[in-house]
Amino acid sequence: MALRGTWQLQKLIVGFCDWGGSSRGIRAFMESHLPAFKASNPQLEVVTELIRGQHPHLKGLYRNKNERVICVKNLTPEEIHLHATRLRNALGRKVVKLKTRHVTKHASVQGTWSTALKF
């Protein structure tokens, strides 16, 4: 996703094994979908990395020095393309767990409204 007009994903690393069965889908992805993905995203540096004996993964390196790794073990090429697109569209921020469902900058003096209040 673009933040202030610049894409946040700088580099996409595709790690795979040339022998393992769990890398079958990513090898098919590299033959069929990866050239079109590279052509449609010229701002993105796509690197393939041969890692023998390991499960395949997609690693996204972002401008804010964060990285996200997605394991794509035993996935189809279409599912891997979906994960690569999601990495491209992400901002690269860390996921923050919310403490409550109700988030405000200024908490109410009277308290949070709920349906269980009795008058």
pTM, to two decimals? 0.81
pLDDT in tens, 1-51: 788 899 999 999 999 999 999 999 999 999 999 999 999 999 999 999 999
Overall residue count recorded for the chain in this entry? 119
C-alpha 69/C-alpha 9 separation (Å) is 13
Mean pLDDT score of the chain, rounded to an integer?
A: 92
Model confidence at 97, pLDDT cuts 50, 70, 90, reads confident
Q: What is the pLDDT of residues 62-91, one digit of tens each?
A: 999 999 999 999 999 999 999 999 999 999
pLDDT at 119: 66
Burial class (CB in 10 A: 0-12, 13-18, 19+), 76: middle
8 Å CB contact between 81 and 33:
yes
